[in-house]
Amino acid sequence: MTPWLTIIGVVPLAGALVVALLPKGRDLLAKQVALGTSLVVLALTIAMCLDFSTAKDAPRFQFVQSYDWIKAFGVSYSVGADGIALVLIALIAVLVPVVLLASWDDVEKLDADPASATGKDAPLSLRRSVKGFFALLLVLETMMIGVFAATDVFLFYVFFEAMLIPMYFLIGTYGGPRRSYAAVKFLLYSLVGGLLMLAAVIGLYVASTRQGPGTFSFEALAALDMSHFTQGWLFLGFFIAFAIKAPLFPFHTWLPDAGAESPTGGAVLLVGVLDKVGTFGFLRYCIPLFPWAAREFAPYVITLSVIGVIYGALLAMGQKDMKRLVSYTSVAHFGFIGMGCFAFTTQAGTGSVFYMVNHGLSTGALFLVIGFLIDRGRSRLISDYSGIAKIAPTLAALFFVSGLSSLALPGLSTFISEFLTLVGTYTRYPVAAVIATTGIVLAALYILLVFQRTMQGPLSTAHAHLKDLRGREVAALAPLLALMIFLGFYPKPVTDVITPAVQATLQDAGTTDPTPTQLQSK
């Protein structure tokens, strides 16, 4: 079998090395190499997806590779992809070239800003590096692919921590005015979660040594017979780490700062992919490894998720900064995803994974459109814009479609995932599903209000000469919009891949779908 996962993980790392080794002054070549590398990864990922079998007798994990790494401690380089990991890796492969294309001139614009600490009047040694920016994005791609592909818990932990490094430098070096604060806050929160996970990983290894040779293999750990006490504490170690990463309420406070201060491309990958590691971890590790604890804690997680849906939406409505607004909408969206993960139904689980994909597409598009607007208007404040649709109709149209996708309009892919999540949750937690449905109404308010305030009304004199989107920017957005529309009408190719993996997770958790109630005829 072709080692797809290793190949697509190594290619961007090799591309990053080539970009970093290019001589000074070859910035255009660095961009071209980075974009070409990401397109190769996309082509390889498409080939891998076509090679993935959805037959009933197909193994759960495919493209499996396993080699001893630290044999004395049972650590191995083990990778494999089930349907959940596959669609998230495909999301990475789509978003990275989009981000590279959308960020083509971002570093030069930062250094051309006289107000920047690394602006045109700063010494060359302090200016931001174009090569560094594009190399960091490629390194980040490798780390993100690795974290979803790993089937050895220790290897997963290594990628989980390693992907913080390129993201930290992207925020801290290429971000907004408060980039240092946001980068440090992002890193500290993530490291605290990582330390809790490390303690739980060590605990898992100790538990495995009591029942045989010590191991970090996912399948071997899932077969362990652990006491309820042990499961409970280890579950909390993993859960809190993943809840911080997602982020799930009340562990979300780092996201608005990191999302607002990240460069636009970094924000797309941060919210569109990195945060999915948390919700992916719920399904891959928390539920299968600790089934009793997952069932016991599920009502509390559902409660936190519902609070997050409402809380995130209300805070989004009160934001003056457009990038912070989008960041808070993600807190609400992750509430839906977390609710679907712990509802323990096939519909809700499939909906939550599909929601991860669609959130990456819709929020990625929304961040890009807002980034293009901020780049032109030089302000993130909603109040500084008005009537932009009169002079930039393409930007306004794409803003509108991206916003409609974020609020889950029927006909767009997010509607399918949100509907499946709510219906699946209702069969087991009807009150939570009903309360969470109010988040849809609030989403319509915060999206439509920001569109009305910025795109409609009288044209602001300060932006009378603002230019519409260029061809490169439209080309960057086009794949995301096309996928949102296509999957909105025909989600079957994705849901058929996700559903068997979700059913296997439910089986690991020792749960089944609720039996439908039937009306008795007289």
Tell me the average pLDDT across 289-307. Answer: 92
Q: Three-state SS string across 272-325, please?
A: HHHCHHHHHHHHHHHHHHCHHHHHHHHHHHHHHHHHHHHHHHHHHHCCCEHHHH
- Using CA atoms, how far apart are residues 81 and 14, in angstroms rounded to an integer? 22
Each residue of 352-377: pLDDT tens digit?
A: 999 999 999 999 999 999 999 888 88
Which pLDDT band, with edges at 50, 70 and 90, does 312 fall under? confident
Each residue of 190-217: pLDDT tens digit?
A: 888 889 999 999 999 888 888 878 888 8
- Using CA atoms, how far apart are residues 300 and 199, in angstroms rounded to an integer? 23
Name the least confident of 58-67, 128-137, 247-256, 486-495.
247-256
Q: What's the pLDDT at 111? A: 60
Each residue of 241-294: pLDDT tens digit?
A: 999 888 888 888 888 888 888 888 888 998 888 888 889 999 999 999 999 999
Q: What's the pLDDT at 326? A: 86
Which pLDDT band, with edges at 50, 70 and 90, does 112 fall under? low
pLDDT at 143 over 90: yes
More confident site: 25 or 78: 78
pLDDT at 461 over 70: yes
Q: What's the pLDDT at 127? A: 54
Name the least confident of 71-75, 118-122, 266-270, 302-306.
118-122
- Cis before 12? omega within 30: no
Q: Is 64 helix (H, G, I), strand (E, B) or coil?
A: strand
| Sequence ranges of the domains in the chain | 4-509
How much of the chain, in percent, has pLDDT values that exceed 90? 39
- Using CA atoms, how far apart are residues 465 and 460, in angstroms rounded to an integer? 10
Name the least confident of 116-125, 140-149, 306-315, 418-427.
116-125
- Token pair for residue 14? 């090799």
pLDDT at 121 over 50: no
Which pLDDT band, with edges at 50, 70 and 90, does 93 fall under? very high
Q: How many CA atoms lie within 13 A of 123 on its CB side?
A: 2
Check: CB of residue 503 under 8 Å from CB of residue 286.
Answer: no
Each residue of 397-439: pLDDT tens digit?
A: 999 999 888 888 888 888 999 999 999 999 988 999 999 888 8
Averaged pLDDT of the chain = 87
Check: CB of residue 138 under 8 Å from CB of residue 37.
Answer: yes
Specify which residues 76 forms β-bridges with: 68
- Using CA atoms, how far apart are residues 351 and 328, in angstroms rounded to an integer? 21
Q: What's the pLDDT at 379? A: 83
Burial of 21 from C-beta contacts in 10 A (0-12 / 13-18 / 19+): exposed
- Using CA atoms, how far apart are residues 333 and 327, in angstroms rounded to an integer? 10
Which pLDDT band, with edges at 50, 70 and 90, does 322 fall under? confident
Q: Which residues, 6+ apart, have CB-to-CB distance to 399 below 8 Å? A: 366, 369, 370, 373, 451, 454, 455
